[in-house]
Amino acid sequence: MPAPPKFLTDRLAARRSLRSRVSALEEAVQENRQLNLRIAELTDAMMELVVPLSERDESKVQAVVDRYRESLGGPR
């Protein structure tokens, strides 16, 4: 059986390369989504801390810090 024409092998290689690039981009997009979600969570935690800190309400501050640490899965 003869080898396929060069233009066909080139097209197949280009498709494989394109699929690989799309896959890598999809992974990067997912990573960015996760980072953006984490930034939003941190921003929310900071906003929750601003008022109790300004009022010097240590119990509220500690409650926010505890909730944040729990969301990370870490110890209190």
Amino acid letter for position 10: D
Q: Give mean pLDDT, residues 54-64.
A: 79
Mean confidence (pLDDT) of the chain? 84
CB neighbourhood size of 9 (10 A): 11
Give the Cα separation of 10 and 4 in Å (integer).
Answer: 10
Which ranges of the chain does DSSP label H, i.e. alpha helix?
A: 6-54, 58-72
Prediction pTM value:
0.55
8 phi, psi to nearest 5 deg = -70, -40
pLDDT at 73 over 80: no
Give the Cα separation of 46 and 40 in Å (integer).
Answer: 10
More confident residue, 34 or 71: 34
Q: How confident is the model at residue 74 (pLDDT cuts 50, 70, 90)?
A: low
